[in-house]
Amino acid sequence: MADIRHTNWVDGAHQPPTKELIHVINPATEASIATIDATPLETVSSIIESSLKNFSSGVWSQTDASTRFTVLSKAATLLRSRLPEFINLETQQTGRPIREMKAQLSRIPEWLEYFASLARTHEGRVTPFKGPVINTLTRLPLGVVVHITPWNHPLLIATKKIAAALAAGNTVIVKPSESAPLSVLKMGKLFQEAGLPDGTLQIVSGYGRETGKFLCESRLIAKIDLTGGLATYEAIAPNASKNLIPITAELGGKAPVCFFPSMPVEKGVKAALFASFIASGQTCVTGSRLLIHSDIYDEFVELLVSRTKTLRVGDPTDDKTQIGAVISRASVDRCSAFVERAIVDGGKLLCGGEPTTVDAKGFFFQPTLIETKADSDLACNEVFGPVIALIKCSSEEDIIQVANATSFALGASVWTDDFNQAHRVAEKIDAGLVWINGHHLNDPSSPWGGFKESGMGKENGIEAFESYTKVKSTIINYGQEPTWFDDEVENARYG
């Protein structure tokens, strides 16, 4: 059976297919499940120009807040009613277990509802301007914004960005990952049904190194919101800087998961499994470094290894599967390379460490635990796979020092039943997100973003909404007479 062709969504319609196509591969079966457009750069240029024309028309950028609320709220309702088809599509294109996708996608409509409400309720303010003057501050949309979205959470991350940008009144161009673009490409029609004016949301597929880079280099765009790697940021930042285009960037992590003796070992092991192996370790906040206090280390590791060996690697469409595929053959090779280097560095392989298959097919890697040093390659660099570093720490101070000893600072979690210790440690960990007795917790109201090489700016919350706006200051003089060139200069206002 021929692959289904999913074409670009531009100006309210799926476009004719381009000459060059890209195959979308199911990583669990290695079969091509669809094709998408490799969009020519001249077409991308025309899409940018069309988007700017749409923004300038005011059809969305100047509409009132109640209309934005209505459209985004209806989009949430439509998405919630169609979740099964999106869930199946996400499982096919990412290889993630369907049980994970059911849980994740069921929450995505909340982002549309939250930013719909924020569009309706967010208010300007009046500053305490000196004298008989009123200074009002209003927030205006930026213009055409570009979203570069990843393959690991295709619909979630795209929706987080789209909801905030549309709520603020912008026109949006989304470039989903060529590895998992299908669910995002379906969103164009859904938003149209919700009442979004045609051309306000454009969805353009292609290779990141070509289509994505070209989008980010245009002088006509007003903002870039990127989720990806540091190399991608480094490729687009110089031109963005030259063109004075702001960037929100979520670039990766090496999240420490910190376990203290007051936490029951059984509970801690369950927490470690959840933090480390959701999405086969392919999240930016994967609990990829388990920092375990020496007082519980041996008991903890023994139980963790036993439980890890029983995790069910299998067909992602089976509800019983716990560990699905990684995204590609290159990802399998990357995991293998990290394991090999870790052992050369003196690490001790406790379980896993090998590629595997399901029915002799697919890009799978065994859940892997390696005991290693805090300064090893495995402990400091992002694997983006189910290869986890275990580090024995002697004290609270040692755990804090190790937690902060990488170039990443996105997420971290602290597991302890000592209330004072929980807050004391969380305060000292350098990360944009610190969970206490939790991991992977997310909410549309909670700002998400890291420090250091993990990026800049925030998704979620008022912070994200405001980052898609520019502030206009209107200063109204209702009683101060101009006096600068009069004889009486003592009351003159200047500067």
pLDDT tens track of the chain, all 495 residues?
Answer: 467 999 999 999 999 999 999 999 999 999 999 999 999 999 999 999 999 999 999 999 999 999 999 999 999 999 999 999 999 999 999 999 999 999 999 999 999 999 999 999 999 999 999 999 999 999 999 999 999 999 999 999 999 999 999 999 999 999 999 999 999 999 999 999 999 999 999 999 999 999 999 999 999 999 999 999 999 999 999 999 999 999 999 999 999 999 999 999 999 999 999 999 999 999 999 999 999 999 999 999 999 999 999 999 999 999 999 999 999 999 999 999 999 999 999 999 999 999 999 999 999 999 999 999 999 999 999 999 999 999 999 999 999 999 999 999 999 999 999 999 999 999 999 999 999 999 999 999 999 999 999 999 999 999 999 999 999 999 999 998 877 676 555 555 555
What is the DSSP secondary-structure string of 429-478? S--SEEEES-SS---TTS-B--EETTEES-BSHHHHHHHTEEEEEEEEES
CATH architecture of 5-251+454-474: 3-Layer(aba) Sandwich (3.40)
d(CA 21, CA 40): 11
3-class DSSP state of 380:
helix
What is the Cα–Cα distance from 279 to 100, expressed in whole angstroms? 8
Sketch the domain layout of the chain as residue ranges.
5-251+454-474, 256-436
Tell me if residue 401 falls in helix, strand or coil.
helix
Annotated catalytic residue 459: no
CB atoms within 10 A of CB 177: 25
Domains 5-251+454-474 and 256-436 share a fold: no
DSSP string, 287-333: --EEEEETTTHHHHHHHHHHHHHT--B--TTSTT--B---S-HHHHH
Instruction: Point out the catalytic residue in the list 90, 100, 178, 250.
Output: 250
Q: What angle do CA 223, 226, 227 make, to 5 degrees?
A: 160
**CB contact set of 401 (below 8 Å; sequence gap of 6+):** none
Tokens of 36: 């998408």
**Encoding tokens for residue 174?**
């989304």
Rounded CA gap, 197 and 90, in Å? 26
The pLDDT value recorded for residue 55 is: 98
Helix and strand element counts for the chain (H, E): 17, 25
What is the bridge-based pairing of β-strands 144-148 and 223-227? parallel
Rounded-to-5 percentages of helix, strand, coil across the chain: 40, 25, 40
Task: Give Cβ neighbours of residue 373 (< 8 Å, ≥ 6 apart).
Answer: 345, 346, 347, 379, 391
pLDDT score recorded for residue 208:
95
Structure tokens at 340: 């090999």
- What pLDDT, on the 0 to 100 scale, is given for residue 495? 56
State the amino acid at position 427 in one-letter form: E
- Give the integer Cα–Cα distance in Å for 235 and 155: 24
Fold for 256-436, please state it: Aldehyde Dehydrogenase; Chain A, domain 2 (3.40.309)
2 — alpha (psi -120 to 50), left (phi > 0) or beta? beta
Classified as helix, coil or strand, 5 is strand
Whether the Cβ atoms of residue 378 and residue 406 lie closer than 8 Å to each other:
no
CA dist 460 and 355 (Å) reads 36
Q: Residue 3: what pLDDT?
A: 77
Q: Is 485 helix (H, G, I), strand (E, B) or coil?
A: coil
What value does the CA radius of gyration of the chain take, rounded to a whole number of Å? 25
- What gap in Å lies between CA 215 and CA 47, rounded to an integer? 10
Please, are residues 122 and 139 in contact by the beta-carbon 8 Å criterion? yes
Distance CA 131, CA 125 (A): 17
Q: Are 316 and 359 in contact (CB under 8 A)?
A: no
The pLDDT assigned to 1 comes to 47
The letter for the amino acid at 424 is R
Q: Count CB neighbours of 491 within 10 A.
A: 11
What is the rounded CA–CA span in Å between residue 456 and residue 413? 20
Encoded tokens for 127: 């500053």
Distance CA 300, CA 358 (A): 30
pLDDT of residue 490: 59
pTM given for the model: 0.95
Q: Alpha-carbon distance 361 to 429, whole Å?
A: 41
